[in-house]
Amino acid sequence: MLRAELTADLVVVGGGLGGTAAALTAARLGQQVILVERSDWLGGQLTAQAVPPDEHQWIESGLSSPSYRELRRRIRDHYRRNYPLTEEARQWETLNPGFGNVSRLCHEPRVAALVIQEMLSPLIASGRLTVLSPHEAFEADRIGDRIGAVRVRSLRTGRETTLRAPLVVDATELGDLLELARVPYVIGAEGAAETGELHAPETADPLDQQAVSWCCALEYRPGEDHTIDRPEGYRHWRDTVDPRWPGPQLSWDDVVPDLLITRTRPLFLESTDDDLWRYRRVLARRNLEPGFPGGEITLVNWPQIDYWELPLLGVDDATRERALLRARELTLSLVHWMQTEAGYPGLRLRGDVTGTEDGLAKEVYVRESRRIRALFTVTEAHIGREMRGADAGAATFADTVGVGYYRIDLHPSTSGRTYVDIDCFPFQIPLGALLPQGTRNLLAANKNIGTTHITNGAYRLHPVEWSIGEAAGALSAYCAAERTEPEAVRAKPSLLAGFQDLLTDRLGVTLAWPEGIRAPKARHDSIPKEVSASAS
């Protein structure tokens, strides 16, 4: 077996948005960084999981992270440089390539993957950043309260490499490094007795894990027949009715998350844009010159493909593999149902958009991870509107390292629980939530930070994950410059002030929302009509 050893200033395990932001930030600040990712695409939920960015209504303002704004600007520029856009679309400052309802920037996963590579390219060329992809971590050495080394394996060749660095970031989608390094963590839901949260279950339930979704890309070509083979479990998905659901998932019916009432959203509607096709459309004909030969493309991340039968965490490998297989089967069953029983044979799976042969995303969309037992845990009492009072605003944190906002949005879970969808306030990201108890040189930078099952529903979305990773990368550089450690930065006021100055003065990060930004947004299923319905 081929083996090697590499050392760096920072090792980042997981190349999703948090991991990418951590590596990018640390390398731009002069550190030697190794980034490990199991997929051959960086970007996680934005790319390999095929989910357009879910964002807050101030995302186009200066209140978002400058590096995240750079990512979004580069995505738009890619379309302007390479696509036959109409003149109106080309001049549209906040170009939305897909004119989708869910985001101000609905775009193809493939494009985001290209843009991320472009952002990292000069750092790779300079030698400051080494990307090991596709690789996965399989072992970690723990020496007392520190991680001494992480061992990773190439998924192509089997070559094993030992990685060493003063600081290690776990930015994996499921918090894999926490288990490998024996870092205490939580899975599922904490009980109300522990957290005091209004919407927590009465007792802790490790099986209360949000549904995962195996997304796919579809093009519609009327008059053609692209019907796929009938999946093995098709009859099960067509006929099974979950007690939480109005009927089988192979249907146009689902549940309004905050009201828990049945709604019907067909694939196409003529009189309104509130249909499934435009929900996450990533390439819209209206933005393209008439001679463009391709059709419109949408990404399927709909309630119909939420898989909730089996969890991914706290189970053996065989159960996890069965859950992933069934999640894929559910998505393919929905596609087959739409092509046959629903009457749309012209729906065509677009694997080139997702980087796969079958049209499904490279990876399953994960909404919930192992979560560290952190130095500080954000609960519903810190951000929830109902718990804090209608006009209170979110709690403020002295150790803030960024801001974010999204509703508390939990999908139906593997325990049988339905949606938990409630208002919260625009919030801060506390440094203490990135720091685990009992492990001095590990930082969390994905959905594995110190949130509860409830507050994870607000902290798990794209721009928040990016900001978490950005803070972790900056902290690594700051600790190296000051010859200190993460816990000391949080504990010592002068060090904390210096770190926050680095974030604000060098990186342009916003650490607190301006006074008066407290109102909850509309349901995220559709962005404000004045934004989505006009290119002006």
Q: Are 94 and 532 in contact (CB under 8 A)?
A: no
List the domain boundaries for the chain.
212-367
* Residue 434 DSSP code: G
By the 10 Å C-beta count (0-12 exposed, 13-18 middle, 19+ buried), 316 is classed as: exposed
Using pLDDT thresholds of 50, 70 and 90, give the confidence band for residue 2.
Answer: low
Q: Mean pLDDT in the chain? A: 95
Closest CA relative to residue 442, chosen from 476, 465, 471, 484:
476
Measured distance CA(427)–CA(413) in Å, rounded: 25
The sign of the dihedral angle between the CA atoms of 70, 73, 79, 82 is: negative
pLDDT in tens, 496-518: 999 999 999 999 999 999 988 87
Structure token digits, residue 2: 């081929």
pLDDT of 519: 59
Q: What is the rounded average pLDDT of the residues 20-34?
A: 98
Neighbours of 203 (CB within 10 A): 11
Residue 521 pLDDT more than 80?
no
Close Cβ partners of 520 (under 8 Å, ≥ 6 residues apart): 385, 407, 423, 424, 425
Mean pLDDT of 369-395: 97
- CA-CA distance, 419 to 262, in Å (whole number)? 13
pTM of the full predicted structure? Answer: 0.96
- Residues near 8 by Cβ (< 8 Å), separated by ≥ 6? 31, 32, 33, 34, 130, 163, 164, 165
For residue range 429-472, what is the model confidence (pLDDT) as tens digits? 999 999 999 999 999 999 999 999 999 999 999 999 999 999 99
Q: Give the tens place of pLDDT for each residue, 194-228.
A: 999 999 999 999 999 999 999 999 999 999 999 99
Contact (Cβ atoms closer than 8 angstroms) between residue 446 and residue 434: no
Distance CA 383, CA 379 (A): 7
- Sign of dihedral through CA atoms 301, 305, 308, 309? negative
pLDDT tens string 154-202:
999 999 999 999 999 999 999 999 999 999 999 999 999 999 999 999 9
pLDDT in tens, 65-110: 999 999 999 999 999 999 999 999 999 999 999 999 999 999 999 9
Query: H or E segment at 212?
Result: strand 212-213
Is residue 236 within 8 A of residue 336, CB to CB? The reply is: no
Does residue 287 come out as left (phi exceeding 0), alpha (psi in the -120 to 50 range) or beta?
alpha
**Measured distance CA(349)–CA(341) in Å, rounded:** 17
Residue with tokens 């957290």: 195
Write b or e for each residue in 234-265: b if 16 or more Cβ atoms lie within 10 A of its Cβ, otherwise e: bebbbeeeeeebeebbbbbbbbebbeeeeeeb
User: What average pLDDT does this structure show over 297-303?
Assistant: 98
> What 3-state class would DSSP assign to 467?
helix
pLDDT tier for residue 520 given thresholds of 50, 70 and 90:
low
The residues near 348 (Cβ < 8 Å, ≥ 6 apart) are 218, 219, 220, 221, 224, 226, 295
Q: Coil, helix or strand for 505?
A: helix
Decide if 25 contacts 469 (C-beta within 8 A): yes
pLDDT in tens, 115-154: 999 999 999 999 999 999 999 999 999 999 999 999 999 9
Evaluate whether 323 touches 307 at the Cβ level (below 8 Å): yes
Q: Give the pLDDT band (50/70/90) at residue 392.
A: very high
Other CB atoms within 10 Å distance of the CB of residue 200: 23
Dihedral of CA 512/518/522/524: which sign?
Answer: positive
Q: What does the pLDDT look like over 317-374, one tens digit per residue?
A: 999 999 999 999 999 999 999 999 999 999 999 999 999 999 999 999 999 999 999 9
Residue 210's nearest CA partner among 337, 42, 371 is: 371
